[in-house]
Amino acid sequence: MKKTLYLKFVLAYVIFGIFGFIIITTFVPSMTMEQLTREKANALYSEATLIADNYVSGLYTNDTSLEAVKMQLDIFSVYLDSVIWIINPSGRLILSTDAPLNVEEVVMIENFDPTITAGSYYNIGTFFDSYESDMLNIIVPITSEYKVKGYLVVHTSMTGIEKSCNSLLNISYITLCILFLLSLIILIFFTEIVYVPLRKITYATEQYASGNMHYEFQVESEDEIGYLAACLNYMASEIARTEDNQKKFVANISHDFRSPLTSIRGYLEAMLDGTIPPELYAKYLQIVLNETERLTKLTNSLLTLNNLNTKGMLLDKTDFDINKVIRNTAASFEGTCRKKKIAIELVLTSDVMYVNADMGKIQQVLYNLLDNAIKFSHHDSVIRIETSEKKHKLFVSVKDSGIGIQKDDLKMIWERFYKSDSSRGKDKKGTGLGLSIVREIITSHEEHINVISTEGVGTEFIFSLSCSKWNDEEE
């Protein structure tokens, strides 16, 4: 579609102009002439029939004289701008409006045949060589007592008809020129509104195909083409962002795996070459064990995320008591909370609250949120877990009064391996995958999770779950 589309439209425009000109110059003149001739003949035939019946037929009933008829026909001749003849069946010219009346002069129309019209009421020609140029000839029979006594012939020049035809043809030519100019305007409009944006889109797709996902283009249009351009821009930006995330992911995972592996290798080599004395083996083997546990945790988190991102992931949804899960999860952190003198306060809507979800994955969500809350809370503080029901939805809130999250970091906390600058010193063993896992689990349940945080004040995570029908039965 580089140039062919535009050339097709230009070619269509040229063909339109050529064929339009051929049609106008070839078919329209003859059709126009034929139509004008027919209309003129119809009008003259009507007048001729009226004259023959009302004024001329009296000649053959002795109701009027030839002089009186001549006087009447002269008037009609001027009115019709035509020459009127009366011819008897044998071809003798009885009367002509373009010549004085002379009954003694005998003028014969050679080879006169009233059937010259071939079943019609008019013909075009010299009327048996009576004229040097073609005339429009109208033949109307003059009848008396149901017999044809003669013929009334009306001759009118074709010049007037030709002038009318030429005038109409001039209008047709002007109309054709106007249409041609309008089509040119449409072509220009198409070029600016359709073709140019399509060229931009085509060039952009070529850039994307070559790997330049950061190429941006603008199409100032609010129609389908503008929407297509916006979608392409968005697609390219998403692909670019995905590629950047992949690179960042690889870099982060490489760093997070390299650090413990480097430590393990370093300590083991030091033990083998005698740098670390045997009496310190237990200390450094414990460090090695901690690093392997860190690697195991990181690997398990990656596997969890991979399973969550797998298309068509199956959730083992059941109806269970969320309050029980909350209590059990909070109890599992009792030892950690005791060390930091942190209290977990539970504010639950009722003793029993059933939800429909994957219990194991929701327990993991609560575990990760509580682990983060404890990790970033101050000593002698309170973590509040609260539930509330609204419109068949249960909302679970995990709120701490810890260090909080910087405003610029709020949009990034869901990214894999992301750690805010303020949290790096407190989260030495963290993988940076906990919140990513939390969001993936909640999203897989077709639910939502939000975060509200103020630096130096604390953080609150709120997620929703679908309530179970069991709650109505319990009531």
Helices (H), ranges, 125-195: 158-190
CATH code of residue 264: 1.10.287.130
> What share of residues in the chain are helix, strand, coil (percent, to 5)?
55, 15, 25
CA distance 19 to 32: 18
- Which is nearest to 450 in space by CA: 387, 397, 392, 390? 397
- Which is nearest to 402 in space by CA: 459, 345, 338, 334? 459
State the pLDDT at residue 119.
74
Same domain, 403 and 326: yes
Q: Give the count of beta carbons closer than 10 Å to the beta carbon of residue 137.
A: 26
Q: Residues 112, 113, 117, 118: what is their CA dihedral angle, to the nearest 10 degrees?
A: -150
Same domain, 123 and 12: yes
In the chain, the amino acid numbered 308 is: L
Q: Is residue 126 one of the residues assigned to a domain?
A: yes
Edge-first strand order for the sheet with 393-399 is 343-347, 382-390, 393-399, 458-466, 449-454
Place of tokens 């850039």: 207
Extract the tokens encoding 322. Answer: 């969320």
Instruction: Give the HSE-up count for residue 106: Cα atoms under 13 Å, Cβ half-sphere.
Output: 5
CA distance 170 to 187: 25
Same domain, 301 and 326: no
Sign of the Cα torsion 56, 58, 62, 63 reads: negative
Same domain, 404 and 467: yes
State the pLDDT at residue 301.
64
Residue 375 dihedral angles phi and psi, to the nearest 5°:
-60, -40
Per DSSP, the three-state class of 142 is strand
As for how many domains the chain has, the answer is 3
State the pLDDT at residue 311.
47
Tell me which residue range forms the domain holding 9: 4-163
Same domain, 290 and 339: no
How far from the centroid of its chain's Cα atoms is residue 361's Cα? 41
State the pLDDT at residue 152.
92
- Answer for the pair 33, 161: CB distance below 8 angstroms, yes or no: yes
CA distance 419 to 412: 9
Sign of the Cα torsion 405, 407, 408, 413 reads: positive
Same domain, 294 and 329: no
Residue 286 dihedral angles phi and psi, to the nearest 5°:
-65, -40
Domain end marker among 309, 334, 352: 309
Identify each DSSP E strand in 37-110 by its residue range. 83-87, 93-96
Inter-CA distances, 259 with 32, 253, 266, 288, 291, Å: 94, 10, 11, 12, 9
Same domain, 289 and 378: no
State the pLDDT at residue 428.
45
Domain end marker among 146, 163, 180: 163
CA distance 129 to 70: 24
Digitized pLDDT (tens) for each residue of the chain, 475 residues in all: 455 666 777 788 788 778 878 887 888 888 888 999 999 999 999 999 999 888 888 888 877 888 888 899 999 999 999 999 999 988 899 899 988 887 677 888 888 888 887 778 888 999 988 888 899 999 999 988 888 889 999 999 998 888 988 888 888 888 888 888 888 888 788 777 777 777 887 888 888 788 887 777 777 777 777 778 788 888 888 887 777 767 766 665 665 677 678 778 888 888 888 888 888 888 888 878 877 876 776 677 667 666 655 544 567 889 999 999 999 888 888 878 888 889 999 999 888 889 999 888 888 888 889 888 898 888 889 999 999 988 888 999 999 988 888 777 777 776 765 555 444 444 444 556 778 878 888 888 889 989 988 888 889 999 999 988 766 555 5
Which of left, alpha, beta for 92 (phi over 0: left; psi -120 to 50: alpha)?
Answer: beta
Q: Is residue 201 one of the residues assigned to a domain?
A: no
Per DSSP, the three-state class of 397 is strand
Its pTM stands at: 0.45
Residues facing residue 142 across a β-bridge: 150
How far from the centroid of its chain's Cα atoms is residue 306's Cα? 36
Domain end marker among 266, 281, 309: 309
Same domain, 152 and 131: yes
Residue 306 dihedral angles phi and psi, to the nearest 5°:
-60, -40
